[in-house]
Structure 1
């Protein structure tokens, strides 16, 4: 078994989950609540996100197999989706701008838009499947990937619990800059997945 790259996996999920970008969303969602309720919402949103992403780690490939979609095809398609998702992070509305907008026109809950799509984003769900393929990764590596997901979510929780201080420090502008940098990193990771999927398909 090749040595598991903890840092690369952590950075990958840090990019797709974008913990810093969730801070302005959390502040908007919880603006009307007291400190105790804010803590409760932060914990609830993080737990829900963890359950969703771990579900995709465990069941994502099973679902694909059941409907007879080759993993290489999913890897290419997933890479393209991740690439487009990353482009919206770079050129479109930043994550904070877009999801704070959701708050203004929908019911503020810990589930939407905080847990989904702010933390457990479509890109994160997709990444959870791509980085735990049975044909490419051992059970140990898949377990370690799950640990890295939980590690990033732990960062999310800490940032949400100190959201007021973080927002004062970087503001919406700072969160927007971080989101776009994460988008650039995600673009390169997405292209890598597309190339690996194409290579895998022609080697079948």
Structure 2
């Protein structure tokens, strides 16, 4: 898998653009300094969560005795359900929080709902595990995936810092269109995961 392909997958599941409406909603009324602090905290916590799955995700799967094809199929179905909601539901970003006004966290919007589950969404956690499978990817390849993940999170951070001006330009309707296009791409990724897992099961059988 190329770096570009990894970037596209992680961009879709992390969805930096879809984070903008959530960020604007949960930080309404904050001072500029607080906005910047919230953005950096959200990106940092999301990086720690996804980093945990990058390092320990495969060990967790092995400890539970789950085969990778089974995990891929289950993950593909979950990703497809997530994509289905993005396409036909209200504009959202992995948490069930809509662009119309996600609920605030109890004084810690940087952690909930921004970092988890908006940025470090279930789909992003799953994608990280699949992209760093020890049976398919070497340590250097996994390091590249980590770098790509950090690059996407960096984009999410920049977009959060620019959330106000961007949302004024694209408006809620533009954010909804972007969310649905991302949902279509994610649906294709989910189907591809299932097909690949079934192919592996057939070859192993």
**TM tier relative to shorter chain:** over 0.9
Question: Which residues of 2 match residues 42-121 of structure 1 at below 5 A?
Answer: 42-95=39-92, 98-100=97-99, 103-104=102-103, 107=106, 109-121=109-121
Superposition map of 1:132-147 within 5 A: 132-147=132-147
- The residue that corresponds to 1:9 in the other structure is 6
Q: How many residue pairs get matched?
A: 201
**1:169 counterpart residue number:** 169
1:196 corresponds in structure 2 to 196
Q: TM-score, normalised by structure 2?
A: 0.93
Extract structure 1 runs of 4+ deviating beyond 2 A. 96-108
Out of 21, 25, 30, the residue aligned to residue 22 of structure 2 is 25
2:37 to 29, 37, 40: 40
Aligned 8 A contact 1:27 1:164 in 2 = yes
- Deviation per CA, 1:60-104: give whole Å up to 9, x if none: 110110111111110111111111111111011211683446634
Distance 2:133 2:125 in 1: 13
